[in-house]
Homo-oligomer: A and B are copies of this chain.
């Protein structure tokens, strides 16, 4: 059985099939260190001085829990004056921006599922606070928060961290979502993501977990096996507007999602990315922030990258059933 599914928001199509021969790629698995502290690790306690000026931190007494430092090989720089330039028909923008690293725990081999709830809440609040702080620089249009977990997902350091890239442009995936959700709203006068929440709760088969405030689903047109989305059940276009209670609730479902993934597929490499409206836009009725979690269980074929047309060897309904029952 196979069928072609359209992403409910953008124009992406996915061939969804039930490939009995598919099995998660072995070399994409994490090899967690047995050590809780590694003196060689740049993010472990004792090596703080090597990370450059601390931008922000969460501390308990004299111990830090979360620390934000500059990326030591930044792609974008706050010192560069913003310049938008044309060169014939071509457009460039200066490399104005910021690259920060959020070190999410002092424990060398911790993952989100082993950190306690208050620790994960601090991480989520730090994402929010860093966006809000950088938003004061009116040259910047977008703050991209993403995690590359494991070398199979592009992660260079095994100690748990996420990255923030503050940029003078909006990434295509988010712009596409904004444009397409606007068209949906113009037609139906409803937010497409609110509709997804309602439809998924009605169908139930793709719901992995539901905390009331947040829904964890295997999305209808999952691009890859065990892809998951965290959707707020309340309408909000800006992740950086969450309050303390919403952050704690988000921390709970994020922790839960990673725990299920680690249990279901044995600690795969994964990426996640927060999709949120551009900081300078007002609240949008048609857009809805969310988190997309992409396990890296198989290599991305070039034609998938080039065409935006994906093949997923696992039905999301099956992945959801498995993820639902695994804990």
Listed in ascending order, the chain A residues whose CB lies under 8 Å from chain B are 2-6, 8, 10-13, 15, 17, 75-76, 87-95, 144, 146, 148, 153-154, 163, 165, 167-169, 171-176, 192, 195-196, 199, 202-203, 220-221, 270-271, 273, 292, 294, 296, 299-303, 305-309, 311
Contacts and interface: CB of A to CB of B under 8 A. Distances in A.
B95 A2 contact: yes
Given A10-B172, A90-B199, A309-B172, A302 B75 contact: no
Contact of A172 (B11, B88, B92, B165): B11
A93 B301 contact: no
Interface centre among A87, A171, A292 (most CB of B within 10 A): A171
Contact of A153 (B5, B91, B302): B302
A173 B4 contact: no
Task: Across the A-B interface, give the 3 residue pairs with the lowest CB-CB distance, nearest first.
Answer: A271-B302, A172-B308, A154-B301
Contacts of A87: 203
Contacts of A271: 301-303, 305-306
A11 to B, nearest CB: 5
Copies assembled:
2
B306 A172 contact: no
Given A301-B148, A302-B271, A174 B307 contact: yes
Interface of A is mostly: mixed
A296 B302 contact: yes
Contacts of A192: 89
Contacts of A296: 302
A91 B14 CA distance: 11
A314 to B, nearest CB: 14
B220 A307 contact: no
Given A76-B15, A172-B12, A92 B307 contact: no
Given A89-B199, A169-B309, 4 more contacts: A3-B94, A88-B203, A90-B220, A273-B303
A169 B301 CA distance: 19
A299 B154 contact: yes
23 contacts: A2-B76, A4-B94, A4-B167, A5-B92, A6-B90, A12-B172, A13-B171, A17-B95, A88-B202, A89-B196, A146-B302, A148-B303, A154-B302, A163-B303, A172-B308, A173-B309, A174-B307, A176-B176, A271-B302, A271-B306, A273-B306, A294-B302, A296-B302
Nearest to A94: B3
Interface centre among A11, A15, A146, A306 (most CB of B within 10 A): A306
A90 B15 contact: no
Contacts of A306: 146, 173, 271, 273, 292, 294
Nearest to A21: B73
A48 B171 CA distance: 47
